Amino acid sequence: MRDEKIIDLYWERNEQAIKHTDEKYGKYLSKIAYNILADKEDSNESVNDTYLAAWNSMPPQRPTALSAYLGKITRQISIDIFRKRNREKRKGSEFAVSYDELNDILSAGDLTEEQVQAKLLGEAINRFLSDQPKEVRNLFIGRYYFLDPLKEAARYCGMSEGKAKSILYRTRCMLKEYLQKEGFEI
């Protein structure tokens, strides 16, 4: 089924939308989630949360690229699960408890500002990547957005693992310089 029809089903509040989404993008989303969480159960949980988030966000959202839209949701949910999991691991440590408490103070009430900052940072990265050669851009996005293993990213970018590693290192250095020029504190 085409993306437009799936989105129409979401807008019609038809539950078949989730079924068709799972049929078409289930594996794609699971791959993204698994790259972050490295756990099958957590990945399935993340994908299911993605469907719920999509159900809640459409309408009013009407994404032009459904795969990218769902991928972003899955990625963010998976990162949140990853952070939560790490926090639970640190529960036994008093340092971890104090770290979380202080972190809560620092970020309390600044959720909107954080989102704005993240959006500004994302736009800066967009501009930086737009100026990069296609090969570098694809490798960077494959490695740091899709979180594919270095070997796999190098393979589908058509280069050796060593070359991919050096390209990524140079790109990170260039991104750091670029962000510093743009006024971000690093």
Q: Which residues bind another protein (CB under 8 A)?
A: 63-65, 67-69, 71-72, 75-76, 79, 83, 114, 117-119, 121-126, 129-130, 134, 137-138, 141-142, 144-146, 148, 155-158, 184-186
- C-beta of residue 50 within 8 angstroms of C-beta of residue 70: yes
Q: Which is nearer to another protein, 9 or 36 (CB)?
A: 36
**Residues 6 or more apart in contact with residue 27 via CB below 8 angstroms:** none
**Shortest gap between Cβ of 5 and another protein (angstroms)?**
19
Which CB sits closer to another protein, 15 or 131? Answer: 131
CB nearer to another protein: pick between 14 and 158: 158
Distance CA 28, CA 143 (A): 16
Shortest CB 100 distance to another protein, Å: 14
What residues contact 137, with CB distance under 8 A and at least 6 apart? Answer: 129, 130
- Minimum CB separation of residue 59 from another protein in Å reads 19
At how many degrees (to 10) do helices 134-144 and 161-181 cross?
Answer: 90
